[in-house]
Structures are given as C-alpha cells and as structure tokens.
Structure 1
C-alpha cells in the first residue's frame, strides 16, 4: 500500500490524502463555488444597474440628514462644495461614482428660469461609500446586511 498508493499520492499532491477525504473536500469546494457564483452574479447585476441614488437616500440608510452626510464626506476628503454644488475631489473624480446633470427651474421671485447642477451617486459610488465608511466603523443602521437602496433597474 505504501509503495502503490501513499508514495504516488505524495509525489502527485505533495501529501497523502485518502480518496474519500478528497471527495469530501471537493464536494465542499463545489458547494462554496456555487454559493459564490450566485453572489457574484447578484453583485454584477447591482454594479451594472443604471439606477442613480441621491445623497438623501444614502444618508437615510445611515440615519443622518443629507446635510450632515455631505459634511462627513467633506471632512473625509471625498468631496468639496462650490456655491451650492458638491463635487468629488480629484482623488475620487473620474471613478464613475457620481453622475451630474443640469436642471432648470422657474424662480418666481425673479420671474426667470435658473439652473443648477444635480449630483447623484451610481451603484459603484454607493458601494465605494459603503466600504470606505465601513472601514472606519460607520455602518448603515437601516439594514445591517446590505444597503436597502440598491435595487435592480
């Protein structure tokens, strides 16, 4: 048995493991892979979603007003403010974390149309915030397993 089974197994695998034990390990690994495949598919669907999220929706998940959430992101060096618009700092701009568009509204006081920049977060940006804030101990309070605002489009 030693020369016919054990030594060839050591040469082939670097260790002797009985065939039955290898089958058990393989079955466990296959279960784990199946579990991770479904999670990867879910993650890909979320990240590729086109749904945009307002800072108010994100702040709600963390249990704080949007104004405070924006200030937190400012203090962390993620964004800065010009006039009434928040922009990502150079380090984070260009990573597809936010989308901006120009919106018009009618100002009844001046009787004219005005415009403003509206910024919303992408799913990739929401995930970035979730991971970054989580790394410093700040977690959503509305749902402790995932962010509620992530939805399929």
Structure 2
C-alpha cells in the first residue's frame, strides 16, 4: 500500500526492475555468445575414448595429413619413422597414447604398426592451441555463423 501512495517508492521499484531486466538481458547475451564454444567442448569432455588424428582433423575440415603438418609446424609433434610423436616439451602430459596393431601379411606373418591416438585431454589441448592460431572446429563455425 505504501508503494502505491509514495511516488519515490514507485520510482525506486521501477528503477530496480529496470536494472534487473538490463542485467538479465546482458546475461542472456553472454550465454548466446558462449553457447557455440560450449557445444564443441562438451563433445570433447563427454567422450572418454582416445581418438585418431583423422577424427580430430575432420572436426576442422582438414585431412589427417594437413592436421599432422600443422601440429608439426606449431612444434607439437615430429615424425619418427612412420609414427607422429609429441615433441619433448609436450610428452608425459597425457595428450596421446600409442597403440600397437598387428596386421596380417600375405605370407602368413604379421606386421606390427604403431599408431598415435589422442586422449580427450590432448584433444582439448589441440582445440585451445588451434583457437589461438585462428583455427576453429566446423561445429563452432556453423554455430557462430
């Protein structure tokens, strides 16, 4: 009842309401800006499996060869024999795992092949690194654009 009788109280309540609405609109705008970034990160963090460079490269619209060369250029990995390995600075960070695969040969023997797979921690590392370099996953670009 006092609010209806006192003009200063009405003005004060209206001002508070306006400030709350403005604050809510600002918060909604920030959420809209961050949603695309969150969705790709969510896809990384929701998975526990290690992934091949082919899968990561596909996220960026690149071939595995292009992604490997880019990571080499950025000083992340080097090729040793037929396998890409992390440079010393990035070893023992939990970014990759080496997998051994046996491939049957025509003569009945087997060929041992080593492959590097990226952990989700490594995938997140690549995401942050490439973002600094101006590379974004297609999922982020589609949602931003």
TM-score above 0.5, yes or no: yes
CA contact (8 A) 1:61 1:143 kept: no
Unaligned runs of 5+ in 2: 1-40
What is the TM-score of this pair, normalised by structure 2?
A: 0.65
CA–CA separation in structure 2 for the residues paired with 1:48 and 1:84: 31
Q: Which has the higher helix share?
A: 2
- Report the count of equivalent residues: 131
What is the TM-score of this pair, normalised by structure 1?
A: 0.62
Write the deviation string for residues 45-91 of structure 1: whole angstroms up to 9, x where unpaired: 95484311110011011111101110111111100111110100011
Unaligned runs of 5+ in 1: 1-42, 147-153
Alpha carbons of structure 1 residues 81 and 54: separation in structure 2 relative to 1, 3 Å: same
RMSD: 3.8
Write out the 4+ residue segments of structure 1 that deviate beyond 4 Å after TM superposition.
43-49
CA contact (8 A) 2:44 2:124 kept: no
CA–CA separation in structure 2 for the residues paired with 1:142 and 1:84: 31
CA–CA separation in structure 1 for the residues paired with 2:142 and 2:126: 15
Counterpart residue number, 2:19: none
1:74 has 2:67 as partner: no
